[in-house]
Amino acid sequence: MSTSPSVSLPGETMRRSFMRHRRPSATSELTSIVNKTRRKSNIASQNSPTKTKTKAIVTEIPTHSTMDSASKTPSGNQISNFGFAFDIDGVLMQKSTPIPGASECLRYLHDKEIPFILLTNGGGKTESARIQDLSEKLKVPLTLDNFVQAHTPFRTLEHLKGKTILVTGGDPIKCREISKSYGFKSVVIPGDLHVHHRSIWPFHYYPLDDAYRPEDYADDLPKPVREPGVDTEDTLKIDAIFVFNDPRDWALDIQIITDLLISRQGYLGTRSNKNGDKSLPNAGWQQDGQPQIYFSHQDLHWSTGYHMPRLGQGAFQGALCGVWDLMTKGKPLVKTTIGKPHAETYFYAERVIHHYRKLVLGEEGDRSNKLKRVWMVGDNTNSDIKGANDFSGKSSAQWPSMLVRTGVWHPERDGEPNPKPTAGIFDDVMHAVKYALEFETKELGKEGKDGWTDF
C-alpha cells in the first residue's frame, strides 16, 4: 500500500479513521476491477463493432467528515425520506455566477435538513478549493461529504501512487496539485516534457497567454526522455495516463499520449515491435505494457457563459480516438472512463448520499425513515438524465430525473430531449426543486404528516 497523500485535505485524519472501519476490501475491490480492465485490454477482440473500449471503475467513498452522526440531536424538522443530486454547471452555476434561485434552493434544503449532494463531471481544482469557492458563491455551507467531482475517484488508485504518471487537463499547475493531493508522488505534465525536449512537438507556441508558459511552471523530469542509442532503463517511463478535465493544448497532448500508447512498456521515445502484429489480440496494439489511460468523464459539451454549449473532455476523447483509429487502421482504443452517465458513478453517488444522510439526520433518523427517492437535477441528457434513468441502485431508492433549461439542453436547438427525463422538464433549478417538494408533501399528506409547503 502506498504512503498517505503528500497534501492532506481538511479532515484527512477523520477520513483515514473512517476508512479503517469500513470493509477491508475497498482497495482490493478497485484493484480487481482495474485488473479486469487490463486483462480485457490484453484480449481485446479484433471483431468488436465499436471503435473504442470503455471501462469504468468503482470506488469507495473518501470521507472527510468532521460531523458525528451518532451525536446528532433532533432539530424539529420533518425527517425527509428523499434527497437531491445536483449537477453544477448549467444547473446551479453559469460559468462563475449562481443561476437565479440556486442559492435559495440549497439554503432551504440545508436549513430543512433535506440531504443533497453535488454530482458534477467538472473538475480541475482540488475538492477543498472547489467547495470553498462554491460555498462562497452560493452562500450555503457545503462540505466534502456531499461533493463529488469527476476525478475524485482517482484518489483510490493506490497501486499507481508510487509510480510515475502523466496528467493533463486544464490548468497544468492545478492538475499537478490535485494529483499530489490524491497521493501521487511522481507527476509529469505535458509542459514538463516540452520544456525539456522541445522537438517532441515542434509546433508548440504561446501567442496569447503568457501565464501558462511551461517555462514558468515546468518541473524537472524524473528521468530523461529516451534518445536513440541510450539504455531504455535509464529513461523516462510513464505507468498511467490521466485526463483530469478539459485539456487546453489538444495537439501537444494527443502527440504525447499516442507516443506512450505505441511505446514499449511506457518508455517515452520507444516503439513496440508488437504494434500491428496480426497474430496478437487487437493486432498487437496496447499489448506491450503500455500505460493505461483514464478519462474522468466523456461529456461532449458543457455550459459556459457563451450562448451555445462548448466542446468538453468528450470532444478531446473523440479527437484522440480519431487519431488512434487512423494510426491503427481501426483498432479499438482500450481506455477507462468514469463520470456520469456510467452506472459506477451513480453507485458511488448512492453511497455518498446515504452516508451524508446519516450525518445530517443521525443514525436513528436514517434507520427510522429509509431513503426512497433521489431527485437528479441536470442539464445534460447524455450524462445527468441518461445516468439517472438507467441506474438501478443497491438500495430501493428511485432516481427520478429532472431536466432544466438553463444549461446544455435547449428545446429550440436540440428538439425533444433524448433520453427523456422521468420527472419532467423545468425552467430552472428552483422550479424543479419546488415540484419535487410539492410531490413529497403530497406523499407525506397521505400519512397524515406535514410537508414542505413554505418553499
Helix orientation angle between 102-111 and 429-445, rounded to the nearest 10 degrees: 30
**pLDDT beyond 60 at 6:** no
Residue 244: which residues within 8 A CB-CB, separation 6 or more?
123, 124, 150, 151, 154, 167, 168, 169, 170, 175, 178, 179, 296
Residue 65 lies in a domain: no
Percentage of residues in the chain with pLDDT exceeding 70?
A: 80
> Per the structure block, which three cell numbers stand in for 410?
435547449
The reported pLDDT for the residue numbered 153 is 84
Cβ atoms of 284 and 276 within 8 Å: the answer is yes
Residue 313 lies in a domain: yes
**Length of the chain measured in residues:** 455
- 310 and 214, same domain (yes or no): yes
Residue with cell 433532533: 74
Q: What is the pLDDT of residues 205-221, one digit of tens each?
A: 655 455 556 666 778 89
> Per the structure block, which three cell numbers stand in for 283?
493486432
Residue 10 lies in a domain: no
Average pLDDT over residues 188-217: 75
Domain that holds residue 424: 74-148+365-445
- DSSP letter for each residue of 357-420: HHHHHHHHHHHHS---EEEEEES-IIIIIHHHHH---SSS-B--EEEESSSS--HHHH-S-SSP
Residue with cell 491503427: 328
Cβ atoms of 185 and 162 within 8 Å: the answer is yes
Planar angle of CA 85, 86, 89, nearest 5 degrees:
155
Lowest mean pLDDT among 110-119, 302-311, 393-402, 442-451: 442-451
- 171 and 120, same domain (yes or no): no
The reported pLDDT for the residue numbered 43 is 35
**pLDDT beyond 80 at 41:** no
Instruction: Provide the pLDDT confidence category of residue 450 given band limits of 50, 70 and 90.
Output: confident
Residue 15 lies in a domain: no
State the CATH number of the domain containing residue 212: 3.40.50.1000
- 225 and 324, same domain (yes or no): yes
Instruction: Provide the pLDDT confidence category of residue 368 given band limits of 50, 70 and 90.
Output: confident
> Per the structure block, which three cell numbers stand in for 338?
468514469
- 143 and 161, same domain (yes or no): no
The reported pLDDT for the residue numbered 72 is 54
Average pLDDT over residues 147-152: 94
CA–CA separation, 432 and 411 (whole Å) = 17
Q: What is the pLDDT of residues 104-118, one digit of tens each?
A: 999 999 999 999 999
Residue 345 lies in a domain: no
CA–CA separation, 404 and 90 (whole Å) = 8
**pLDDT beyond 60 at 42:** no
Eight-state DSSP code of residue 9: P
The reported pLDDT for the residue numbered 26 is 33
16 or 104, which is more confident? 104
Average pLDDT over residues 313-327: 98
Task: Give the closest residue to 401 by CA, choosing from 411, 391, 388.
Answer: 388
Pairing, β 310-311 against β 301-302: antiparallel
- 326 and 253, same domain (yes or no): yes
> Whole-number mean pLDDT of the chain?
84
Q: For the chain, report the end-to-end CA distance as a whole number of angstroms.
A: 49
Cβ atoms of 404 and 102 within 8 Å: the answer is no
CA distances from 60 to 181, 262, 270, 344, 394 (A): 17, 32, 36, 11, 14
Instruction: Provide the pLDDT confidence category of residue 196 given band limits of 50, 70 and 90.
Output: confident
- 78 and 51, same domain (yes or no): no
Residue 454: which residues within 8 A CB-CB, separation 6 or more?
none
Residue 35: which residues within 8 A CB-CB, separation 6 or more?
none
Task: Give the closest residue to 148 by CA, choosing from 412, 441, 355, 391.
Answer: 355
- 257 and 375, same domain (yes or no): no
The reported pLDDT for the residue numbered 300 is 93
CA distances from 176 to 168, 186, 242, 249 (A): 9, 9, 11, 16
Helix orientation angle between 250-261 and 313-328, rounded to the nearest 10 degrees: 50
The reported pLDDT for the residue numbered 212 is 57
- 166 and 224, same domain (yes or no): yes
Which residue type does 397 have? A
Most confident of 6-15, 47-56, 154-163: 154-163
**pLDDT beyond 80 at 27:** no
CA–CA separation, 41 and 326 (whole Å) = 19
Eight-state DSSP code of residue 146: G
Count structural domains, the chain: 2
- 24 and 78, same domain (yes or no): no
Cβ atoms of 92 and 118 within 8 Å: the answer is yes
**pLDDT beyond 70 at 29:** no
The reported pLDDT for the residue numbered 363 is 83
- 386 and 286, same domain (yes or no): no
Residue 280 lies in a domain: yes
Q: What is the pLDDT of residues 58-78, one digit of tens each?
A: 444 445 444 444 445 456 788
Residue 66 lies in a domain: no
The reported pLDDT for the residue numbered 30 is 36
